[in-house]
């Protein structure tokens, strides 16, 4: 079972993907950098976890897009 911090990090990561698409990791990295500058290491750790979630979810999303493209290409013939 996920704790609240993990659940919120995943929720934020998926929102970022929905809102920013491929730019989501860049946005999260900028937020992490700002937290470091402000010496808020707890917030930085949260954004680092969000970046990890984004990195883990990217390959699955790209495979899904490729398979969807292959299906649509196959249906043309």
pLDDT one-digit tens code per residue, 37-60:
999 999 999 999 999 999 998 654
Q: Cα–Cα distance between 4 and 51 in angstroms, integer? A: 17
Residue-level pLDDT at 57: 83
Residue-level pLDDT at 58: 65
For residues 14 and 77, the model is more confident at 14
Do 25 and 54 meet the contact criterion of CB atoms below 8 Å apart? yes
User: 5: which 2 tokens?
Assistant: 């911090």
- Note the pTM of the prediction, 2 decimals: 0.69
Instruction: pLDDT band for 1, please (50, 70, 90 cuts).
Output: low
Q: Cα–Cα distance between 48 and 53 in angstroms, integer? A: 9
User: Residue 32: is its pLDDT beyond 50?
Assistant: yes
User: 61: which 2 tokens?
Assistant: 């999303």
């Amino acid at each position: 079972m996920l704790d609240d911090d993990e659940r919120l990090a995943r929720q934020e990561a998926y929102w970022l993907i929905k809102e920013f698409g491929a730019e989501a990791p860049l946005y999260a990295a900028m937020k992490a950098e700002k937290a470091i500058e402000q010496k808020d290491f707890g917030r930085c750790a949260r954004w680092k976890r969000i970046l990890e979630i984004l990195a883990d979810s990217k390959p699955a999303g790209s495979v899904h897009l490729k398979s969807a493209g292959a299906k649509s290409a196959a249906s043309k013939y």
